[in-house]
Amino acid sequence: MSDIFTIVLIVLGGFVMFLAIKETRKILALIQDNKYRQNWNILRSLMVFFLFGYFGVLILFYLKIQWLILVLTGVIFFFGALFVYMVVKVGFLTIQDLIKTNILRIELQQQKETSEAIARTKSEFLATMSHELRTPMNGVIGMTNLLLDTHLEPEQREYVETINTSGAALLMLINDILDFSKVESGKVDLELQPFEIRECIETVLSLVDFMAREKSLRVHYSIDPQVSPLIEGDINYLQQILVNLVGNAIKFSSGGEVTIDIRKYQDNQLVFAVKDTGIGIPPHKLDKLFKPFSQIDSSITRKFGGTGLGLAICQKLISLMGGDIWVESILDQGTTFSFAIPYYPVATKRYPAIEIVDHGLDVSSERPAESNQNKALSSNIPKLAAQIPLKILLAEDNPVNQKLANRLFEKMGYGIDIATNGIEVLEAIQKQSYDFIFMDVQMPEMDGLEATRQIRAMEESGQIELSNLTSSNQSIQIIAITANATQDDRDKCFASGMNDFIAKPFKVEQIQTAIERWGRKQP
């Protein structure tokens, strides 16, 4: 009877050990990247040894070899004690290590979630600041432009031009801060597309025209004849870089000239050099130029102003393009900022070397003479209503911007209706048909994005009566005209179903372009 009982215990022990070996797999799966994995493999090997030991004792018991049974049982007891010791020690250390690993994983997850929350908050803050700053600036600059388009006494015109210039300078500071935050947060995406290098430079010159005129500076540019007239790149960011560099050159020059020189370096790089005859920079101060919020001298900051962000933004944008920027300067003689970006020529015919002298001086004969752009509205705004008759609805909740837009459309020959929120827009389009809706985004009760989505849904279901123009297009042309000016804002507008996007502060030319692009001229 005792023999049977012993055999049963040995068999049960072997079965339990077999189950323990299987359970060890779960532990190994948890600690597959853990430093204790090797120890657990040793423990598993000991379990296998015990399993064979049980079977060995069972066989020896059947053969009745008592002395060998005692020896093997002693070995099993010894290794059993060692096994228990290792399980206690390794198990405790493993659990401790796993707890630390899990805590670290949780902390990293919390840090990631916190960082993402901060990034979202920062993005929302930037969007809000962009809207809140650009909305009043749109009113200030727009209204002064309207005032400049009226009959003013010389003294009055001087005052208004000063207000307009100050508003433009403030807008540049606002843009610098918002652009730097956007670059820092990694929200810059380059868009490669073909563009004319000459047109790009002339746009830059038109944007700094008023600054050069105030200082009677000669601003011109030259393009090496080996440079293809049509290149591929991100024209918007290239213009932003050049406006910043040329603007600085004008700001720190009291006389002389500013030159933009474009040349090809080897076969794969395009080099831009912006040279001025200004105050220059001391050699020991050059290392501060590209650091955010830094100025080479506090007295210069007080005299010339600025955020100290422009060059930092330029450096980051050029770096994103795969290029580099550097500076050479001689104190009291001038400074040259040069940057190189990848050169992607687009096959086209070659032109002779071009040199443009702008700002009221002689203009090269290679380019047709054209009037310089003025900060004020042109009094010759075309009466587009005669060519493209439209029924226009403006969605805008700001009273100043309502007045501004109403006056601008009047100058183009349009009488417009105004809604102050998205709900009023939906009510208006059900009462009569509209060809165009210039839609603000941030409005009370219902924003422009939701209003646009509902309009598109109503069009699909046939709830809106279409005008002659919209009948041919099967939809109302909805143009975002908003102070939310980031790329994310632009993408959201298009995703909601809008046709085009205009950022505030806007120019009358942008409104005209949108009408000409999306309207239909009468024969």
Mean pLDDT of the chain: 77
pLDDT tens per residue across span 140-151: 887 888 888 788
Contact between residue 410 and residue 365 where contact means Cβ atoms under 8 Å apart? no
pLDDT tens per residue across span 267-297: 889 999 999 998 888 887 777 777 755 555 5
pLDDT mean over 496-507 = 87
Rg (alpha carbons) of the chain, rounded to whole number:
37
Please report, for residues 33, 232, 385, the alpha-carbon distance to residue 94 in angstroms, rounded to integers and kept in the order given. 12, 58, 80
Complete DSSP assignment for 90-130 = HHHHHHHHHHHHHHHHHHHHHHHHHHHHHHHHHHHHHHHHH
Q: What are the E-state strand segments in 152-192?
A: none
pLDDT tens per residue across span 395-447: 998 888 888 888 889 888 999 999 999 999 999 998 888 999 999 988 888 99
pLDDT band per the 50, 70, 90 thresholds, residue 471: very low
Given a cut of 70, whether residue 390 has pLDDT beyond it is: yes
Give the phi and the psi of residue 189 in degrees, each rounded to 5: -120, 125
pLDDT at residue 1, as a whole number: 55
Q: Cβ-count burial of 23 within 10 angstroms (0-12 exposed, 13-18 middle, 19+ buried)?
A: exposed
Partnered with residue 393 across adjacent β-strands are: 417, 437
Residues in the chain, overall count = 523
- In single-letter form, the type of residue at position 244 comes to N
Given a cut of 90, whether residue 95 has pLDDT beyond it is: no
Pairing of strands 324-330, 269-276: unpaired
pLDDT tens per residue across span 208-246: 887 788 888 889 999 999 999 999 998 888 988 998 899
**Calpha distance 378→202 (Å, rounded):** 19
pLDDT at residue 490, as a whole number: 85
Which two tokens mark 157? 């015109």
Count CB atoms within 10 A of the CB of residue 29.
8
pLDDT tens per residue across span 10-19: 677 767 777 7
pLDDT band per the 50, 70, 90 thresholds, residue 203: confident
Contact between residue 208 and residue 246 where contact means Cβ atoms under 8 Å apart? yes
The reply to whether omega before 505 is within 30° of 0 (cis) is yes
Residues 227, 232, 235, 238: is their CA dihedral positive or negative?
negative
pTM of the model as a whole: 0.49
Q: Cβ-count burial of 523 within 10 angstroms (0-12 exposed, 13-18 middle, 19+ buried)?
A: exposed
Count CB atoms within 10 A of the CB of residue 191.
10
